[in-house]
């Protein structure tokens, strides 16, 4: 039997410091490592990550050797710090948080804590860059704030085409819809601490929130070049990705001049600016700034854009 005919294909469901658990279609799983040449390539970016489909062969000791990673449909990444204590130096390396996710659900609370829209905008930019097909905003704890205030706060996101799902774990509001969204999909489900993600997930599937939380608690604190990531299988079909890397997200491979293209409502106005290299900050004839003044672009989103643009310019100035 040739080496090619002995290769198996599976899904990477966990990555623990370079050891990948690969699940086959029949439910069996094999602990694998990258083949030597792939390991060398992994110095500058993650060659394999949770969500990847890989071909591998079984070795004599029962472990596996990953021979190839199949083409990815989406890549959710962040810039990784690789120098200094706990990675305190410059961001030089791509860390793939998850490959091939079909949808990302960004969870925030209506109150306690108040929604951090700057963080949400950062998540959305990263999601737009990743190529993930569906980006969904989940607003939980709807019982803690006046609904008119909350819906007004998130109305700009609905206007620009994002789906916003309002939920309340306590009252089971939106839980059936959330369950249907997760069913049979490979999903990212993330957000800041305290927004009720665990409670929501435990209603969708008993123990699911605790299972996801257990993955997070196995990690060491701080930023490292290795990680412990996992997909949690859903009883209703599909997988849920635990993605704590998003909480300290530094945009990867986004140049300052490209950023406006990842803001859905800003992008259509860019071609109307007087100057091709308009930064949309102080230039005369800036169509984006005019759209903000006219209410076509929410001022809060424009301010988020400026903050992220300044951050990217500072990062690129290092090089």
Is 312 within 8 Å of 256 (Cβ atoms)? yes
Alpha-carbon distance of 140 to 153, in angstroms, equals: 13
Per-residue pLDDT tens over the stretch 8-29: 999 999 998 889 999 999 999 9
C-alpha dihedral, 92 to 97 to 99 to 105, nearest 10°: -130
According to the model, what pLDDT value does residue 214 have? Answer: 64
CB-based contacts of 246, cutoff 8 Å, min separation 6: 76, 78, 97, 123, 126, 188, 190
**CATH for 21:** 2.40.50.140
C-alpha dihedral, 68 to 74 to 80 to 86, nearest 10°: -80
88 shares its domain with 59: no
116 shares its domain with 87: yes
Alpha helices in the chain (DSSP H): 36-41, 117-130, 147-159, 175-182, 197-204, 208-217, 267-270, 287-293, 299-317
According to the model, what pLDDT value does residue 287 have? Answer: 98
β-strands 91-99, 75-81: how paired? antiparallel
84 shares its domain with 213: yes
Alpha-carbon distance of 278 to 257, in angstroms, equals: 8
53 shares its domain with 83: no
Please identify, among 190, 220, 248, the residue that sits at the C-terminal boundary of a domain. 248
Per-residue pLDDT tens over the stretch 258-286: 999 999 999 999 999 999 999 999 999 99
Both tokens of 184, joined, read 């049979």
Residue 9, classed as helix, strand or coil, is strand
Residue 202, classed as helix, strand or coil, is helix
**CATH for 156:** 3.40.50.300
94 shares its domain with 61: no
260 shares its domain with 291: yes
How many distinct structural domains can be found in the chain? Answer: 3
120 shares its domain with 230: yes
The residue range of the domain holding 25 is 4-69
**CATH for 304:** 1.10.40.50
List the pLDDT tens digit at each of the 319 positions of the chain: 445 558 999 999 999 888 999 999 999 999 999 987 777 666 667 889 999 999 999 999 999 999 999 999 999 988 765 544 434 444 467 788 899 999 999 999 999 999 999 999 999 999 999 999 999 999 999 999 999 999 999 999 999 999 999 999 989 999 999 999 999 999 999 998 899 999 999 999 998 877 776 655 554 444 333 456 789 999 999 999 866 556 556 777 788 999 999 999 999 999 999 999 999 999 999 999 999 999 999 999 999 999 999 988 887 665 4
125 shares its domain with 10: no
According to the model, what pLDDT value does residue 267 have? Answer: 97
Claim: this prediction has a pTM higher than 0.95? no
86 shares its domain with 227: yes
According to the model, what pLDDT value does residue 6 have? Answer: 85
31 shares its domain with 97: no
Please identify, among 248, 268, 285, the residue that sits at the C-terminal boundary of a domain. 248
Count Cα neighbours of 222 within 13 Å in the Cβ-side half-sphere: 13
125 shares its domain with 264: no
According to the model, what pLDDT value does residue 77 have? Answer: 87
Query: 19-39: buried (b, 16+ CB within 10 Å) or exposed (e) per residue?
Result: ebbbbeeeeebbebbbbeebe
133 shares its domain with 202: yes
């Amino acid at each position: 039997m040739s080496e090619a005919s002995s290769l198996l294909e599976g899904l990477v469901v966990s990555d623990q410091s370079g050891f990948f658990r690969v699940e086959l279609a029949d439910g069996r799983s094999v602990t694998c490592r990258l083949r030597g040449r792939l390991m060398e390539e992994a110095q500058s970016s993650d060659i394999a990550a949770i969500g990847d489909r890989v071909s591998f062969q079984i070795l004599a000791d029962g472990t596996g050797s990953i021979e190839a990673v199949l083409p990815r449909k989406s890549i959710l990444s962040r810039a990784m710090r690789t120098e200094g204590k706990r990675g305190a130096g410059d961001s030089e390396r791509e860390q793939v948080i998850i490959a091939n996710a079909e949808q990302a659900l960004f969870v925030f609370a209506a109150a306690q804590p108040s929604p951090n829209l700057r963080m949400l905008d950062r998540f959305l930019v990263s999601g737009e860059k990743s190529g993930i097909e569906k980006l969904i905003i989940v607003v939980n704890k709807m019982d803690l704030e006046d609904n008119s205030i909350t819906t007004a706060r998130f109305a700009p996101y609905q206007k620009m085409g994002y789906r916003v799902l309002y939920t309340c774990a306590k009252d089971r509001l939106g839980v059936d819809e959330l369950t249907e969204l997760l069913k049979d999909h490979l999903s990212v489900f993330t957000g800041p601490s305290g927004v009720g993600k665990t409670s929501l997930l435990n209603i969708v599937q008993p123990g699911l929130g605790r299972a996801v939380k257990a993955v997070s608690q196995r990690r060491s604190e701080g930023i490292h070049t290795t990680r412990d990531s996992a997909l949690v299988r859903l009883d209703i079909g599909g997988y849920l990705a635990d993605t704590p890397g998003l909480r300290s997200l530094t945009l990867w491979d986004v140049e300052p001049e490209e950023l406006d293209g990842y803001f859905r409502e800003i992008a259509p106005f860019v071609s109307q600016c007087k100057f091709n290299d308009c930064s949309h900050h102080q230039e005369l004839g800036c169509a984006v700034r005019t759209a903000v003044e006219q209410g076509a672009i929410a001022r809060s989103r424009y301010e988020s854009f400026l903050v992220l643009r300044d951050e990217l310019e500072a990062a690129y100035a290092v090089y």
